[in-house]
Structure 1
């Protein structure tokens, strides 16, 4: 969800556009050790994609679904409830921004925004529960946690390399800039890295997957035929538009949103979506940290 003031939004796939192949001139200045780590990461990502692509091809050849469907119940909330949830998120982030000084430090904005997103998620879930939603209809039940972990890891292997390449190509067209990356360039300490990691790997996946994949997409699925792509596409576009203003990051975000949305639709759960989102963001943060840690801290 949107972050207040200078912190903007928690890190998502768009971080890769700044840290991955699109780092351009900065990557050329990396010392050998950092360059080796980034190169090794690219090789691993490519190998993982080949493995995942072969697995997907084999499933298709055998007539097996890529994401095995699970029995799930339709969500009970209405359009009015979706509007209330959106208002809760908006009020939370606005209040967090108002509580900060006129020109807050980026670390303070980041902490306030992440806290506001998590509290808004809890408040939104509470509202929907009062309106009749169960833990299962909220998509928060992990009855097959081992399958959720496996699904998230497999999906990560399938999307990581293509999105790294796409983000790098798009960065050649419109250079990507994000306050979190600038923050890590000037702060290499563990506190800064931990703060960014919490925002990107905890706050962003929980808040964004709950709102886009369950609240919004779940409601749209009520009005569409089973397994229809329209709700998935709508939620992925909304997810991408929430990050407009960060270069061309919305393009890979749309593709990631399609994968996340399809998983949510087939499983009726956002647990594997949260795991995938968190894993992807963790890779993004690691790429940024490797790149900026090899450079002298500015400021």
Structure 2
């Protein structure tokens, strides 16, 4: 792309996204001012998968983070472009495979149905979920970008995202294509499955049991307060919704000043941020993004809005990175 076109694209794209973000934030602020929730709550039942499923995915994520940090510490120079592209494609296929396998295993071993897995029930709901994710992107892109820019301005980080370092060494169309695809498809697919669906979904069940919130119980699923700390059985509870008021308030809160449902959001958002250790200030600046993603899941209990927001966020970051690197 000619230098003039790159400069023009930068001058148009970033201000346009910032303006759309401010409009979206203004609209949401007006909803709050009028006494309406940012997003209507969708009733649900507790997820059927056990703590073992949660731990397995989190351990896989932890191993990946530690492995990446160890490799960064040992590396004396960046790998060749060909080696790097191969590693990107390998990681992309691995993440996609693990995520897809998770859905099948949760269905087969834990008896999770499409609603438990956060999947849309119709084509119309699918498009609505995608639209919701795009709106959420515009709502959070400006605050998250400003926080990230402020952190880098006040305390410049010595480490950069591996993708950025590799592209600064010498970008190519093949490298950018591999990175862009990995960032916009496998990464959101795996991370939203691991952090929102599996982790946050289980944390919501755990919080409900500790607070005596029975509205999300499945039929034949006892409270068993004395067994809360025990690992759940892999056998599935019935998928039927218990005959209780789904919008009833919990008997108490685990944290008095924190609304019910927000502790799982905060925990999943924090772990989501920490999963990006070694990427400069990303672990800090991505926690607010994780809060938005967690809120989306908590209100809808569907995974497509979260994946869409995550994918569009990463796509915008990749486009912005390409424009920055391409400028003289």
Q: Shorter-normalised TM-score: what interval? A: 0.7 to 0.9
Contact 1:233 1:258 in 2 (8 A): yes
Question: For 1:119 and 1:113, how far apart are their aligned partners in 2?
Answer: 10
How far has the Cα of 1:294 moved from its partner?
Answer: 3.2
| 1:157 matched residue in structure 2 | 138
5 Å-filtered alignment, 1:19-168, equals: 33-87=5-59, 105-129=83-107, 130-141=109-120, 143=122, 144-168=125-149
CA distance in 2, matches of 1:156, 1:288: 17
Greater share of residues in helix: 1
Q: Deviations over 1:136-178 (max 9, x none)?
A: 2111225412321221121111111122221112122133512
**Deviation (angstroms), 1:273:** 0.3
Give the 3 Å change call, closer, same or farther, for CA 87–244 of structure 1 in structure 2.
Answer: closer
Contact 1:31 1:294 in 2 (8 A): yes
Q: Structure 1 stretch 35-44 or stretch 53-62: which is displaced more? A: 35-44
Q: How does 1:260-299 map to 2 (within 5 A)?
A: 260-295=293-328
RMSD across aligned C-alpha pairs, in angstroms? 2.6
Match of 1:16 in 2: none
Distance 1:37 1:163 in 2: 21
TM-score of the aligned structures, taking structure 1 as reference length: 0.79
Runs (5+) with no aligned partner, structure 1:
1-29, 96-101
Equivalent residue pairs, number:
261
TM-score under structure 2 normalisation? 0.72
Are the aligned partners of 2:65 and 2:277 in contact in 1 as well (CA < 8 Å)? Answer: no
Change (3 A) 1:255 1:93: closer
Match of 1:174 among 151, 156, 178: 156
Match of 2:224 in 1: none
The structure that has the greater radius of gyration is: 2
Q: Secondary structure at the match of 1:223?
A: helix
Which of 174, 197, 208 in structure 2 is aligned with 1:214? 197
Instruction: Show the counterpart of 1:13.
Output: none
Is the aligned partner of 1:244 residue 2:244? no
Spell out, residue by residue over 1:67-99, the C-alpha distance to the aligned partner (whole angstroms, 9 max, x if none). 12223332101212212334566789999xxxx
Cα deviation per residue 1:21-63 (whole Å; 9 max; x = unaligned)?
A: xxxxxxxxx9554344223233112211221122112211232
> What is the distance in 2 between the residues matched to 1:169 and 1:91?
30
Q: CA deviation at 1:195?
A: 0.6
